[in-house]
Structure 1
Amino acid sequence: MARTSLRTKLGALAAVGVMALGTGVLAASSAEASAAADCPYEYFCAYPGPNFTGEPIKMRDCNDVRWIPWVDTNGSWINNQTRGTKAVFTLSNWSTVPTYGAYYAVPSGIDWRTVYYIDPC
């Protein structure tokens, strides 16, 4: 069974640039570099606001599923985990969607109202 990317499944990501990050932090802006520095290596970090603003939820351990409390925000996320690790979003319709692999960030366009839970890997 082929996996459907988060961009395809959520539609809101279609016009969003995905930035390569990782331990070398290849970021397109100072906000991304700062957020990557704040999101430790081997973590997936979800931010309530765009451009990695607000107090993030930081997740590291597989099956440490976290509830997403933000219901009225356009957020962002960074996957600073090890190579090949993908977080999985559980959506409001209870379907699951894998994110892009490690070393990626989505600076805006995440409608957290549609995401109930995140499993970091």
Structure 2
Amino acid sequence: MQVLLNEQGFVLSFAFIGNMPDAIDAPEPADPMHFAEHYSAYKLIDGQLTFDAEQDKALQNDALLDDLRVRRERECFSVINRGQLWYDNLSAAQRTELQVWYAAWLAVTDTLVVPEWPEWIT
């Protein structure tokens, strides 16, 4: 098999069959299915592809944070950026609830908790 590595030695891309430009040869890992699912957490050490659980956890966390950012943009900002006419029709209680909800969305990458939608938002 062939692999492309990043500067830290982790796999960027791979081919079980065939050749890739600028790739290096590496022995096939013991569990090819696990490798295919988690290849970016494998590192070439002493000629062997070795799974790095810490790297895998960091990559999963990065993916989670990216997903939360996309959700925040889609679910939160579409409400927060509605404009003054919409805000003028909210009660004081709704504006307060909206501010709390917005603050929770801004903190979502720290808390990892997606805020519940206020029931009155449509």
**What's the TM-score, normalizing by structure 2?**
0.22
Greater Rg over alpha carbons, structure: 2
More strand by share: 1
Richer in helix (by share): 2
